[in-house]
Amino acid sequence: MVIMLADDIIIRPENYGAILFHKRKGTMIEIDKEAYDFVRYIKKEEIIDTLEWDSKAADQELHLFIQQMVKEEFFLKLPTGILNKKTNVYKPMGDMTTQINTSSLSAPETVHLAITWRCGNKCWDCYIERHKDQIKREMNTKELLKVIDKISDFGVFQIAVGGGEPLIRDDIEEILSHASHKALTIHLTSGRHDISDELLTILGRYLTVLQIGIRNEELLKPQGKDVENLCRIADFMKKANTVIGANVIVDTYCIEHFDVMINTLEMIGFQTITLLRYKPSVDKESFNRFRPSYSQMIRFKQLLTERVQMNRDISYRIDCSFAFLEKDMTEELAEYRGIRGCVAGSRIISVAPDGSVYPCSQMVGRDYKAGNLTEDSMEVIWEKSEVLINQRKYKCSEVFKNSICGSCNAKGYCGGCRIFGEDEGQAAEYCMEEKL
């Protein structure tokens, strides 16, 4: 087989090997030191021929690794015979199955960057309302561009731009242009369904993914103005080669009308559907009323499983607080699929509109503040912040170890969501372990 490293692949060394990031797809693969040596060899030689390998065990491991990399489009398979020289025949050295220890990365994989908390939609299920009173200041353009510089220079792969409503900022084009110039892959989430063609042109120029927040009730009106606007947005983004995705809040209404909603999203042309757990909001009455029960969560899992099997062209994703839905898989399969449960502070961080840094967009407030990027460096925050350090090792606490999560076989790739409990011991709320 003749192979080469695909374009737009970023290689970031780590203490266990490296992370490979596919800029065009926004996907990542973690590799150990032996695989990292092989990838560096390919990058150096540009094109290599693997046809003359011996049939040793190490070679077989490498064959499997190459097959996965070709499948995920990190390697490109070229026509046999393209090479004439023998110098590009790789001789594998060492075992390709070294255990990867990813407890501490050199930098976050993704930074969730809230550029404003302003928004005119006033959605009753918006969790941002919980934080607005704590942070009132918003970075100006100059400050925000400097923060983006710090994020990029530290080795972060991608930013997820959000809010509030990010498109409400007059400097949105300058922000996206600067992030793109700094070689960051950009995802943006908007709740607007009336984005103008002019603004869509700007988004298509810089974004890898545009996620649209869906108002569930509107999907039951397939002939309505909302669906018409979403069709226009989806069509526009596809022509710009930007992935168009839908963010869907999984509440009781969603589960009750799940099939109809998904049918409408497929008809509109969404390529990814991200299912988000219903988070606590300021409106406690509505939260308790629309919060799914245990039996409804079981039903949701069944509906989602059927949908995934029915349409392989749609990429379904669930947020990390839904990790318990996948707890029946093996640890090896979870690692292969990159499922790790809560990655707050260990693989992601969240930056608020004033530059404050938190483990994730849900863990916001004085007790969770790790620093501020308008004042501190990424290095100091990432490596020295007690908030982030403690978050990375919360599974080592006695409270967690003695909890349902801590005694579960899936604790390595689940562990519950700390937003749904007062401490690590209550993180298993909604977990199905004792009821299945």
- Report the percentage of the chain scoring pLDDT > 90: 53
Flag the least confident range among 229-233, 263-267, 421-425: 421-425
Contacts for 56 with CB less than 8 Å, ≥ 6 apart: 92
Neighbours of 70 (CB within 10 A): 15
- Which pair of structure tokens corresponds to residue 363? 């863990």
83: exposed, middle or buried (Cβ count in 10 Å: 0-12, 13-18, 19+): middle
Residue-level pLDDT at 80: 64
Is there a contact between 89 and 49 (Cβ–Cβ < 8 Å)?
yes
Mean pLDDT rounded to a whole number for the chain: 86
Give the model's confidence band at 214: pLDDT under 50 very low, under 70 low, under 90 confident, else very high.
very high
Q: How far apart are CA 216 and CA 57, in angstroms?
A: 52
Residues 267-303 have pLDDT tens digits of 999 999 999 988 877 778 888 888 898 889 889 999 9
Residue-level pLDDT at 13: 96
**92 pLDDT more than 60:** no
Residue-level pLDDT at 223: 81
Give the model's confidence band at 182: pLDDT under 50 very low, under 70 low, under 90 confident, else very high.
very high
C-alpha distances in angstroms, 60 versus 50, 73, 162, 366, 372?
Answer: 12, 20, 44, 52, 48
Q: How far apart are CA 267 and CA 248, in angstroms?
A: 15
Half-sphere exposure of 19 (CA within 13 A, CB side): 23
Residue-level pLDDT at 406: 81
**436 pLDDT more than 50:** no
